[in-house]
Amino acid sequence: MDSLRAEDLDRPVRIRADRSKEYDYDIPVRDVLWHLVEEELQHRGELNALLWQIDVDAPVYDWIDWAGELGRSLRPDPRRTKSE
């Protein structure tokens, strides 16, 4: 992701035919990334709904809280060097 540039977002990714698709097709990298976000949200929502049904709090509600709990910054600190 660090090396991804704006012009890379339009680069096609070849999706091969399989049991669910009868033909090959190309999808821009931009759409693949959005699909990943959509899938993650869908599955997290499904798991949270199942946990709530058995009266269990979900362990992770959002990325910001999760990253903060791990002591991770969501953006690199420009004051820090790679050697730190």
Query: pLDDT-derived band of residue 62, with 50, 70 and 90 as boundaries?
Result: confident
The residue ranges of every structural domain in the chain are: 6-69
- The identity of residue 79, as a single letter, is R
CB neighbours of 51 closer than 8 A, spacing ≥ 6? 57, 58
Residue 28 φ/ψ, nearest 5 degrees? -65, 150
> Which has more pLDDT, 2 or 5?
5
Element at 25 (helix H, strand E): strand 25-28
Distance CA 26, CA 75 (A): 31
Distance CA 36, CA 48 (A): 18
Per residue in 5-47, pLDDT (tens digit) is 999 999 999 988 888 878 888 999 999 999 999 998 899 889 9
pLDDT for 54 beyond 90: yes
Q: What is the pLDDT of residue 79?
A: 62
